[in-house]
Structure 1
Amino acid sequence: MKLLLDQGLPLSAATLLRDAGIDTIHVGEIGMSEAEDADIIQRARDEGRIVATLDADFHTLLALDVAATPSVIRIRIERLRSQALTDLLLTVVAECEEDLEQGSAITVEPSRIRIRRLPFVPDV
């Protein structure tokens, strides 16, 4: 499992996740702090990474492109510190591993985790 943390998430969480055995990079470590969301998605796709973000735009871009990859974890919990974010992502990765590997848009809220498989198919 390989993660790419978006700009709104603590940079130090990348180190904590690596220490926990998850191959993780933060956009700030690779010169993408100000990159467009589409460029971050492409980087994740190219490297087989899962994007972790606070930004709803990633799910929207996946829907508009009818994309099957990359998986995106959208966190809807505000002001998480590095250790709390690390613990949360470790839990999500463990609980949703198969869905993440097959391509999913996951939304993490304080009381639940929602999983939608990619690509998003419009209701007919």
Structure 2
Amino acid sequence: MKLLIDMNLSPRWVDLLINAGFEAVHWSSLGAYNALDSEIMAYAKANDYIVLTHDLDFSAILAATHGEKPSVVQIRADDVHPSVIGKQVIAALQQMSTDLADGALLTVDTSRTRVRLLPLLSKPLNNS
């Protein structure tokens, strides 16, 4: 699994993820620090990365475009330091690896993990 870590997360995530057996790179080593989220998404899709972020904009892009890739893992916690939530993120990545390979939005917070398969589509209305 290849993870592209967004600018809003510390580069310290790279070592933690590599030590857990993942391929990981921080966006700061690939592109401009002020790159648009859409640019990061395009790079991730073209290079088969999963985006790891603390930013809700990536899920909004997936919803607006009905994108099937790249997968996005969003950390929803007040403290996103790897020493605080890293073990939970690694466990979620391992547990949801098949869904992430196929295309998914994975949300990890301190109390639970949720996954939605891509593309993100509106739920059908109940016409009863």
Q: Which residue is equivalent to 1:52? A: 52
Contact 1:13 1:83 in 2 (8 A): no
Q: Which residue is equivalent to 1:93? A: 93
Output the TM-score relative to the length of structure 1.
Answer: 0.92
Equivalent residue letter for 2:2: K
Contact 2:85 2:110 in 1 (8 A): no
Structure possessing the higher radius of gyration over alpha carbons: 2
Most deviating of 68-77 and 12-21:
12-21
User: CA offset at residue 21 of structure 1?
Assistant: 2.0
2:40 is the counterpart of 1:40: yes
Q: Which residue is equivalent to 2:114? A: 114
Alignment partners' CA distance in 2, 1:67 and 1:90: 24
User: CA offset at residue 15 of structure 1?
Assistant: 2.2
Equivalent residue letter for 2:109: E
Alignment partners' CA distance in 2, 1:32 and 1:104: 26
Q: CA RMSD in A?
A: 1.4
Q: Which residue is equivalent to 1:71? A: 71
**What percentage of residue pairs aligned between the two structures are identical?**
32
Equivalent residue letter for 1:117: L
